[in-house]
Structure 1
Amino acid sequence: MATDTASDAGTATTSEPLHVNGQSQLDDVVAEHDVVLTDFYADWCGPCQMLEPVVETLAAETDATVAKVDVDANQQLAQSYGVRGVPTLVLFADGEQVEEVVGVQGEEQLRSLIERYAE
C-alpha cells in the first residue's frame, strides 16, 4: 500500500482512490493534482459498486488521481456539484471542473475522457 508523503505532492498521482471528506479536502486534492476524477457514490448504490473496480483500475493505470466522495456523509459537497444521482463522476483538470458523467460508464470511456485532459 502506497503512503502519501510530502514529496508525492504536486504532479504525482496516487495509485489508489482517495476517500475525501468535505469541500476543503476535495479542494486540496484538486489543487495538488493535475487531473482528478471524483466519484460521488453511496454504499447502498448497486451501480456504484459495479463502478468501484473500474475507478480502482483507473487510479492505478492512468495519470488521474481518483477521489471518492460518499454522498451520504457529504451531502453539502454533493449538492454544491449538483449531484442528483449516484454514481456521478466529476472530472477536474488544472483545478477546474471540466466534465460530469452520471451513471455507470465503461472503463474505456472513462480512460479516454481522462486522457483528453492528462498530458
Structure 2
Amino acid sequence: MATETTPDTDAEPSDEPVAVSSADELDGLVETEDVVLVDFYADWCGPCTMLEPVVERLAEETGATVAKVDVDVNQQLASAYGVRGVPTLVLFADGTQVEEVVGVQPEGQLRSLVDSYT
C-alpha cells in the first residue's frame, strides 16, 4: 500500500515570488528563511514590469526566497524600509538587511548579489 507524503514547504525556498501584505508576514519570512530578496514594486511602474521576469527567475533558480511588496497597497511597510523609489530590492541574510538596490539592475548582477549570500 502506497503512502502519500506531503512536502515540507519550510525545507527550501519557494520557486515563485511570495506576495507579502504586512510587516508581520515579511518579518516571518526574514526570520525563518536564510536569504530573502524583497522586491518593492508598483503596478504602474514601467521599470518594475521590466524587472518582474528577472525577479521570477531569481526565485526559481537561486537559493533565496523572493518576496514581492506592492508599495501602493503596503505604503507603511515600504516607508518602514525607507523605500523612496521603485523598484527597490532589499536583501536579507540570516535575519539582517545586508543590501539595498534601487532601480533596474542587470540579471547577472542581481544573481551574483543573491548568490554571494546563499
Normalised TM-score (structure 2): 0.92
State the structure with more CA Rg: 2
Counting aligned pairs with the same residue, the percent is 68
- Structure 1 letter corresponding to 2:9: D
2:8 is matched with which residue?
7
Structure 2 stretches lacking a partner, 5+ long: 1-5
Deviation at 1:7, TM superposition (A): 2.0
Structure 1 residue 8: Cα displacement: 1.7
Written as runs of structure 1 = structure 2, the 5 A alignment for 1:1-119 is: 7-9=8-10, 11-118=11-118
1:6: how far off?
7.8
What amino acid is aligned across from residue 73 of structure 2 in structure 1?
A: A
SS of 1:73's equivalent in the other structure is coil
Count residues with an aligned counterpart: 113
* Per-residue Cα deviation, 1:29-57 (whole angstroms, up to 9, x for no partner): 11121000000000000000000000000
Q: Residues of 1 paired with 2:38 and 2:72: CA distance?
A: 15
- Change over 3 Å in CA distance of 1:6–1:80 after alignment to 2: farther
Report the RMSD for the aligned CA atoms in angstroms: 1.2
Equivalent residue number for residue 3 of structure 2: none
Rounded to whole Å, the distance in 2 between the matches of 1:36 and 1:61 is 14
CA distance in 2 between partners of 1:46 and 1:6 (Å):
37
What are the ranges of 5 or more consecutive residues in structure 1 without an aligned counterpart? none
In structure 1, how many angstroms separate the alpha carbons of the residues matched to 2:60 and 2:29?
A: 16
Runs of 4+ in 1 over 6 A off after TM superposition: none
Tell me which amino acid in the other structure corresponds to 1:73: V
